[in-house]
């Protein structure tokens, strides 16, 4: 955080320097756009193939083939979900929250893509439906579905509270991935990464730039829908913070399950479509 009382006197041209206009770091318009017309047609006649119910304060894994659609649904009560995504065929290629944020902003919605880690850096999923898209940004600068938080975890919790709590999203995702893959817990943990905070309402305070959360506007029936651009193994944790309006990293908040549904696209809608391919950067890094 910035000092309340800076130790350095401002230069004479401080005002001039502050008035320089910002520019967007990574204008996403230069990216090849997702095939939204096709994806909307695919969703219109989609056929349900599978579902996984994620229990409160726990996580579960789910599999989605490239060209299938998956939907995360709020059921029973307002609940936030912490989402991890991996390439189903190579766990080292995984969702890259930071680059997704750099390209699409702090909070994602319909038309935004979730990108994979280097050296792959390609779209792994495209958001094709968001029943909370009406929320926009509130008066506090908050919005939903952020890629700024990391995930609640027992390490930070221990440092801040002095307590060991085992049902944070990080631990939930670790247990779920270990159970799904057969990996030992410590190896599974190394694959757990910064999340997409599904339904969570967050922002940065305007005066101090601190990460904040507030009770999610999600209600049962709300959903976030994705087109899988590659074969995906997903992990979703129903955060112990519930709607994240109060405490997290404890058993205090009311928590509800989350449902993941997997659909085949409408018949014929994806004919001639191909999964996303690897990044065309030539490699070598100048050597």
Q: What is residue 31's three-state secondary structure?
A: coil
CB 68 within 8 A of CB 51: no
The CB-of-40 to Zn ion minimum distance in angstroms stands at: 31
Question: Smallest distance, Å, CB 169 to Zn ion?
Answer: 3
**Contact between 213 and Zn ion (CB under 5 A)?**
no
Instruction: Select the span of 24-32, 108-116, 118-126, 233-241 touching Zn ion (CB under 5 A).
Output: 233-241
C-alpha span between 177 and 188 (Å, rounded): 6
Tell me which residue of 182, 151, 187 sits closest to 61, measured CA to CA.
182
Considering only residues 138 to 177 of the shown chain, the ones binding Zn ion according to CB under 5 A are 152, 169
Q: Which alpha helices (H) appear in the chain, and where do they start and end?
A: 14-18, 36-44, 97-104, 154-161, 169-181, 185-191
Distance CA 265, CA 42 (A): 5
Q: Which string of x and - marks every residue 73-112 that binds Zn ion (by CB under 5 A)?
A: ---------x------------------------------
Q: Which stretch binds Zn ion (CB under 5 A): 94-102, 234-242, 260-268, 270-278?
A: 234-242
Q: Which of 259, 179, 286, 220 is nearest to 76 (CA)?
A: 220
Q: Which is nearer to Zn ion, 82 or 264 (CB)?
A: 82
| Listed ranges 124-132, 158-166, 209-217, 235-243: which one lies at the site for Zn ion (CB under 5 A) | 235-243
Q: Is 239 in the site for Zn ion (CB under 5 A)?
A: yes
- Whose Cβ is closer to Zn ion: residue 178's or residue 244's? 244
Q: Rounded CA gap, 168 and 170, in Å?
A: 5
Complex with Zn ion: residue 90 or 247, whichever CB lies closer = 247
- Applying CB under 5 A, the residues found at the interface with Zn ion are 82, 152, 169, 239
């Amino acid at each position: 955080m910035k000092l309340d009382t800076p130790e350095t006197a401002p230069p004479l041209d401080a005002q001039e320097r502050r008035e320089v206009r910002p520019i967007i770091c990574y204008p996403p318009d230069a990216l090849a756009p997702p095939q939204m017309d096709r994806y909307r047609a695919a969703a219109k006649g989609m056929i349900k193939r599978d579902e996984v119910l994620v229990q409160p304060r726990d996580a579960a894994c789910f599999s989605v083939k490239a060209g299938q659609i998956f939907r995360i649904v709020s059921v029973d009560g307002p609940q936030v979900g912490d989402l991890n995504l991996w390439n189903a065929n190579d766990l080292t290629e995984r969702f890259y929250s930071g680059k997704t944020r750099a390209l699409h902003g702090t909070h994602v919605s319909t038309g935004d893509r979730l990108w994979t880690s280097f050296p792959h850096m390609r779209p792994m999923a495209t958001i094709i439906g968001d029943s909370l898209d009406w929320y926009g940004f509130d008066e506090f600068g908050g919005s939903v579905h952020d890629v700024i938080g990391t995930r609640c975890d027992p390490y930070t919790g221990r440092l801040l509270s002095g307590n060991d709590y085992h049902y944070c999203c990080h631990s939930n995702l670790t247990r779920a991935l270990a159970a799904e893959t057969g990996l030992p817990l410590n190896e599974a943990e190394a694959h757990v990464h910064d999340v997409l905070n599904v339904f969570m309402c967050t922002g940065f305070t305007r005066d101090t730039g601190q990460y904040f959360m507030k009770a999610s506007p999600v209600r049962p029936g709300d959903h976030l829908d994705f087109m899988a651009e590659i074969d995906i193994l997903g992990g979703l944790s129903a955060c112990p913070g519930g709607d994240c309006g109060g405490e997290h990293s404890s058993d205090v908040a009311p928590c509800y399950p989350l449902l993941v549904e997997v659909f085949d696209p409408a018949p014929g809608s994806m004919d001639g479509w191909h999964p996303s391919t690897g990044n065309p950067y030539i490699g070598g890094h100048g050597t």
